[in-house]
Amino acid sequence: MVYAAPGGPGTMPVPARSAQTLGRKTMRNISPLLCAFAAFVAAASGVHAAPMNKCVINGSVTYQQAPCPSNQARKDPTLEELNAAERKRRAAAASAAAAAPRETPPARAATPSGFSCDGRRYCSQMRSCAEAKYFLANCPGVKMDGDNDGLPCEEQWCSP
């Protein structure tokens, strides 16, 4: 065994511990913790939650993994019953649509120039300088005057 004198003269020699000895002791302390953690992870990953069913039987509520018991056998609907239900649903939707007032688009106002706001917004959609000027002056949301000088479509129709 090797002795080391940490304090100098007048102190008692203390045995030097090797890194290997410290490593073994640390592993002995940590090993049970690692094993417990591994067992916990293995147990938790193996448990899958089964779906729960809430059943009301004679007024009392129970929770169980199996489907709730029923006093009657389930009867699947026939094709005729399904078609009748679909026709009934469509008839109700059609009557609701007929009862609702329909919105008609506003009529385009005829102008002396013959132009009307019809949703066109760009110079490429215009046919003349007069039409572009009408749209710029009367229609919202047009994009025909990039430099905001009041003259639309300067490159295509209305050259200065």
pLDDT at 9 over 70: no
Q: What percent of the chain has pLDDT over 70?
A: 68
pLDDT tens digits along 80-121 = 999 999 999 999 988 887 777 665 555 455 566 788 899 899
pTM for the model: 0.32
Residues 6+ apart with CB under 8 A from 14: 3, 4, 5, 6
Torsion angle, alpha carbons of 68, 69, 72, 76, to 10: 40
Report the alpha-carbon distance of residue 126 to residue 132 in Å, rounded.
6
Domain boundaries, the chain: 1-66, 116-160
Report the alpha-carbon distance of residue 24 to residue 54 in Å, rounded.
54
What spatial distance separates the first Cα and last Cα of the chain, rounded to whole Å?
A: 105
Q: Quick one: pLDDT at residue 20?
A: 61
Q: Quick one: pLDDT at residue 154?
A: 87
Q: Quick one: pLDDT at residue 90?
A: 92
Tokens of 24: 């073994």
